[in-house]
Amino acid sequence: MKASDTYAVEPWCLRETRLELGDLARSESLFALSNGHIGLRGNLDEGEPFGLPGTYLNGCYERRPLPYAEAGYGYPESGQTVINVTNGKIMRLLVGDEPFDLRYGTLRAHERTLDFRTGVLQRCVEWVSPAGQAVQLRTQRLVSFTHRAVAAIRYELQPLDTASRLVVQSELVANEELPRPHADPRVAAVLASPLVPEASDVRALSAELVHRTRLSGLRVAAAMDHLVDTPSQVSTDTTHDDDWARTTFATRLEPGQVLCIDKVMAWGWSQARSLPAMRDQVAGALSGAMHSGWTGLAREQREHLDQFWECADVQIEGDAELQQAVRFSLFHVLQSAARAERRPIPAKGLTGPGYDGHCFWDTETFVLPVLTHTVPHATADVLRWRQDTLPLARERARQLTLRGAAFPWRTINGEECSSYWPAGTAAFHVNADIADAVVRYLAATEDEEFEHDTGLELLVETARLWRSLGHRTLEGRFRIDGITGPDEYSAVADNNVYTNLMAARNLRAAAGAAARHPRHAARLGVDADEVAAWRDAAANVIVPWDEVLGVHPQSEAFTAHERWNFDDTPPENYPLLLHYPYFDLYRKQVVKQADLVLALHLCGDQFTSEQKRRDFDYYEGLTVRDSSLSACTQSIVAAEVGHLGLAYDYAAEAAFMDLHDLEHNTRDGLHMAALAGAWLTLVHGFGGMRDHGQHLAFRPQLPEGIDRLTFGVARGASRLRVDVMPQEVAYTLMAGPGPLTIAHQDESLTLVVGDTVARPIGRRPRHPRPQQPPGRAPVRRRTQDPSTHE
């Protein structure tokens, strides 16, 4: 389903023009609100009907066993699943004595709008009850960027034709009944009643509930309070039980009179704080938000977003749908991280329970590059969370008989919570991905305090893992054997190109940081011999090469494997992991997601232009994109090697991953890496931005279909604007403490604040469009051009 089938194409919002009850779960993900600490799915205010209820707190989870038919040494024994905590969104309505339920009566109008500039989800409904009483309901909902623990609702109700008795029930509900999961293994495990009641209380129009998770031992507190405004008399009552609290408002209104209820909610969780401390914490957050009121909270929300968009906005001329999609994507990426504050960014953010709420390597490789150049403090917070989990990563490394730290394949609290799986357990590249995020953050911010307090320790411990995981050959080469790269259709391979190159970068970066901060490095036990060993391993790491084909094998001997029989693979058998055994995928040339091609992007300074073109074309014929992580990388490299039309196709796939539900699992939450990929395809792809060296470098080129591309990036205290046109690019330093040096193609440019420097764009060579596996080509964005050339 295309977004335009249900959602209007507008530059600054996502507007639902009709309600599809059969598609509620997807719309609940699209309309989700979050600040990185709290996540509220876009459920209807009245609670029912729903697709999948969801209220989440970042890092709040329940444990569950990981059973094995046969146990093995080092197998994780328990997993973690994000839980649906106490729901404060519910505002039930009775008109007369009939419940407001869109499945009954007559729905005259229904519209929802997620505004990217105000950060508010708005809803307007006109409904006629089965008894013929018509009402209009307007609601606004936000999760605050300025009050970390707070969300709020403005609820406005009026009769339209006749006087009506109206009852509104504002609720807190714990242990909601959830729908059964479907057969897709990517869907989170559903845990029944994970919250054990500890305390509840009500006062006037406020209430609070405190619970504790059964197995993980986390204490969760939730509270609500209200302000009410109406010209008519209102009677109120607040009551509670262990798992719910309810404030009831009853009144009688004439047509045109309005009942306005402002509801403010606060949540918190902790593994260590006492019950009184948690109760007082949410009460304090609630008091601060009530002081601001709805008007103050909404004003602060707009001001916060004004600052974000001033730097982060990407403007596109020529493709209105892509313009909407990239702003939708940036808004949700911001929501995933703005107030995470030393917590992870899950693969689905806080928009749904998909992937059990786990954080993967996606965060560092796809999401943090966007945040580093738009909201850099959010990147620092995520990396500080990784540092906080180092004790667990060191213990995991010891369990695997390795030195340093082995960061988990998937986690919520820092423990490995993926059951044994070769494509995950052996995916040590997550260490290098974290190190790479550190390196890029430091290059962008020159944050010396972060480097010696956080970055150095992360670089040292990840470098130690590579030095113990790899080994030197008799010829002095450095091998890393028996690991898994980004492609999950290959496992336990030797000398994966992506992993080896990223490990070498990790080793060089650790050596450099230790040299810059010898006193801090000494406290970590680093000496000259260890630094020398890191430099030697990095200089001698093996990068396989196939002399016959003239391409880089994804891993050693990969190009000698039998090719997957794509011609006899029916379309309904994708994704392959759901229809074929992994052992068969592992021994064939078939690629789930960009792996070698990801190396061409992130380690592009290690390849020649000709190698990039030949490698890209070769792996296009093998990559089936059974992962949402692939399209953005393929778009970026396609643009670099001259396949601009193909790059445009892939860019659209990344940008529309959730708006068009391309993976058919948006119902379980949005794909944060694909959303970040929408920015990457435009800025790294068509903007040609690279940050391999000391200075930002640009080689922009627009595809037919995009007439102009303008974007901003933060570089330390400087803010750069790049304006790309078909024949020319203009660079403007909008703010900064002094000159900024960048590279345009092979020319060095020094910019001063307020000045614009323009340079021509040369056309790249045109090459035949490479072929994808049958049925796996991206949808053509520029359908009027059937040419096989770019």
Q: Which long-range contacts (CB under 8 A, 24 or more apart) does 396-403 make?
A: 397/465, 399/74, 400/74, 402/465, 402/468, 402/469, 403/464, 403/465, 403/467, 403/468
Q: HSE (CB half, 13 Å, CA atoms) of 310?
A: 10
Strand partners, 541: 478
Radius of gyration over every alpha carbon of the chain, rounded to an integer in angstroms: 27
Degrees to nearest 5, angle at CA 648 with 646 and 651: 110
The answer to whether residues 759 and 729 touch, using CB atoms and an 8 Å cutoff, is yes
Return the biggest CA–CA distance within the chain.
Answer: 91
Residue 48 and residue 24: Cα distance in Å, rounded?
10
- Picking from 496, 528, 494, the residue whose alpha carbon sits closest to that of residue 511 is 528
- The verdict on whether 530 is a catalytic residue reads no
Degrees to nearest 5, angle at CA 681 with 145 and 333: 15
Q: Quote the tokens at residue 455.
A: 């970055």
Q: Quote the tokens at residue 213.
A: 């998770």
The answer to whether residues 601 and 636 touch, using CB atoms and an 8 Å cutoff, is yes
Cis peptide, bond prior to residue 575, ω within 30 of zero:
yes
Query: What DSSP string runs through 670-718?
Result: --HHHHHHHHHIIIIIIS-EE-SSSS-EE---PPTT--EEEEEEEETTE
Backbone angles phi, psi at 303, to 5 degrees: -65, -40
Backbone angles phi, psi at 700, to 5 degrees: -75, 155
CA-to-CA separations, 749 to 613, 711, 724, in angstroms, rounded: 28, 18, 16
Residue 539 and residue 281: Cα distance in Å, rounded?
52
DSSP state of 753: B
Residue 149 and residue 683: Cα distance in Å, rounded?
33
Residue 467 and residue 731: Cα distance in Å, rounded?
42
* Burial (Cβ within 10 Å: 0-12, 13-18, ≥19) of residue 495: buried
Strand partners, 751: 740
* Burial (Cβ within 10 Å: 0-12, 13-18, ≥19) of residue 387: buried
* Burial (Cβ within 10 Å: 0-12, 13-18, ≥19) of residue 628: buried
The residue ranges of DSSP E strands in 134-258, in sequence order, are 134-143, 150-159, 164-173, 195-203, 206-213, 219-229, 234-240, 244-253
The residue ranges of DSSP E strands in 482-599, in sequence order, are 562-563, 588-589
CA-to-CA separations, 528 to 9, 465, 477, in angstroms, rounded: 59, 17, 21
Residue 110 and residue 112: Cα distance in Å, rounded?
7
Handedness of CA 188, 193, 195, 201 (dihedral sign): positive
The residue ranges of DSSP E strands in 24-65, in sequence order, are 33-34, 38-40, 55-57, 61-65
Strand partners, 452: none
Question: Which residue among 16, 364, 488, 556 is the active-site one?
Answer: 488
Helix, strand, coil shares, percent, the chain, to 5: 35, 25, 40
Degrees to nearest 5, angle at CA 293 with 288 and 295: 135
Which alpha helices (DSSP H) does 565-608 contain, by range? 582-586, 596-602
Residues with catalytic roles: 488
